[in-house]
Amino acid sequence: MGGRAVRFPSGLQIVAGPDLARNLSGMPKPALLVTCAVGFEDLVRGDLREQHDLRSTQVGPGDIALEGFSPVATFGPMIDRVAVALDPALGTVAALAAVDWSAVLDVAGGVRFRVHLPGEDQPRQQLIEAIEAGLGWRNEPADWMVNVDVARHRAELGPWSWAARFGSLRRLPATTPGPVAAGLIRLAKARTGDHLLDPCAGVGTVPVIDGLTRDGSTTAVDVDANSVAIAADNVAALNLSGRVKVLQGDATALDLPAASVDRVVTDLPFGKRVGSNEINRTLYPAVLREIDRVLISDGRCVLLTDDKRVFADSAARARGLKIVAERVIRYNGVTPTAYVLTRSRRTRRG
């Protein structure tokens, strides 16, 4: 029986169940929940509607329920995790039994699961045994396909998590989560063929995702040698060396010609984990000056920071750039703002 295989640029493959359409007709459809960074829900829902004709409802901060079901290929990089909603009116085992798992997983080799029920050892063990007996699934906490999240009435699909769809990146503590980087790229509206620059690229999350999802070129710059080495590894591991160039350099003195960049997307040092507020007072104006130099006349930049006052002051003083939109994002306990900037005056096109 042929499953529906979806191949991603990273070479990973996911089988979304044999004869998807037939399985779904006449059965109660699994209500799929997708999660994203808080603040990007409207972008995710807009893409699902416009690109895949999928209707959705926001059911909580960063939580979106899909009215229809669709293959994994519809879940773009702003989507972090995909889960099946479990009917809270049923017990957990009955709710799991009510779902047609073959529609969302390759169940041929059996389903491996784990149970998320923190601090409740005995009830968790009982539930594990009930799931094993009732559904014939195997409890494999280290290599699960389904994470049964009891309190949130959902079963997360490990094979549909971000890393399974787009590849695992080597990370550092200040690394931008992939779905957040994808949202920033989305705000930049980069076109086919555009040259995108990330001047504080760290391990290269923004350039890698841009390289995976768009035809064009990307330059990743970071001042830190270790970050640059990891970025180079990430680019090579995902076969993006032809599209993404990694350079060690200073965002305030880039080795790039004037008017050579169409889009700038970066997660700036917030001054907490990386740098300090004091450093940002000189860093931010200098980075904005350099962006002003390398950006084309109708360019656009998306800059993320939690050091909002220093950024707003710096942007207000920047000669050639102005803030045209702001969006507060929430993920991993931080609430930075993504600032969108365009030129404040027309300059000669490069």
Ligand X SMILES: C[S@@+](CC[C@H](N)C(=O)[O-])C[C@H]1O[C@@H](n2cnc3c(N)ncnc32)[C@H](O)[C@@H]1O
- Using CB under 6 A as the criterion, which residues of the chain lie in contact with ligand X when the complex forms? 174-176, 199-203, 205-206, 221-224, 227, 250-252, 267, 269, 274-275, 283
Phi–psi pair at 189, nearest 5 degrees? 50, 45
Between 17 and 178, CB nearer to ligand X:
178
Between 102 and 305, CB nearer to ligand X:
305
Parallel/antiparallel/unpaired status of strands 195-198 and 154-157: unpaired
- Which has the closest alpha carbon to 201: 188, 184, 183, 220? 220
> Residue 58's beta-bridge partner residues?
64
Smallest gap from residue 174 Cβ to ligand X (A): 4
DSSP structure class, residue 92? H
Strands (E), the chain: 3-7, 13-18, 32-35, 56-60, 63-66, 81-85, 112-116, 138-139, 146-149, 154-157, 195-198, 217-222, 244-248, 261-267, 295-305, 321-328, 337-343
Between 78 and 104, CB nearer to ligand X:
78
Between 102 and 227, CB nearer to ligand X:
227
Smallest gap from residue 10 Cβ to ligand X (A): 17
CA 245 to chain centre: 21
Residue matched to tokens 């809270």: 88
Between 252 and 342, CB nearer to ligand X:
252
Between 69 and 284, CB nearer to ligand X:
284
Cα-trace Rg, the chain = 22
Smallest gap from residue 202 Cβ to ligand X (A): 2
Residue number closest to ligand X, CB atom: 202
Helix H or strand E segment including 90: none
Smallest gap from residue 181 Cβ to ligand X (A): 6
Q: What is the dihedral of CA 323, 324, 330, 331, to 10 degrees?
A: -80
- Which has the closest alpha carbon to 262: 316, 344, 195? 195
Smallest gap from residue 333 Cβ to ligand X (A): 15
- Whether 53 and 70 have beta carbons less than 8 Å apart is answered as no
- Which has the closest alpha carbon to 294: 172, 206, 199? 199
Smallest gap from residue 173 Cβ to ligand X (A): 9
Smallest gap from residue 210 Cβ to ligand X (A): 12
Between 197 and 206, CB nearer to ligand X:
206
- Angle at which helices 308-317 and 277-294 cross, to 10°: 40
DSSP structure class, residue 273? S
Smallest gap from residue 141 Cβ to ligand X (A): 28
Smallest gap from residue 251 Cβ to ligand X (A): 3
Between 30 and 336, CB nearer to ligand X:
336
Between 222 and 262, CB nearer to ligand X:
222
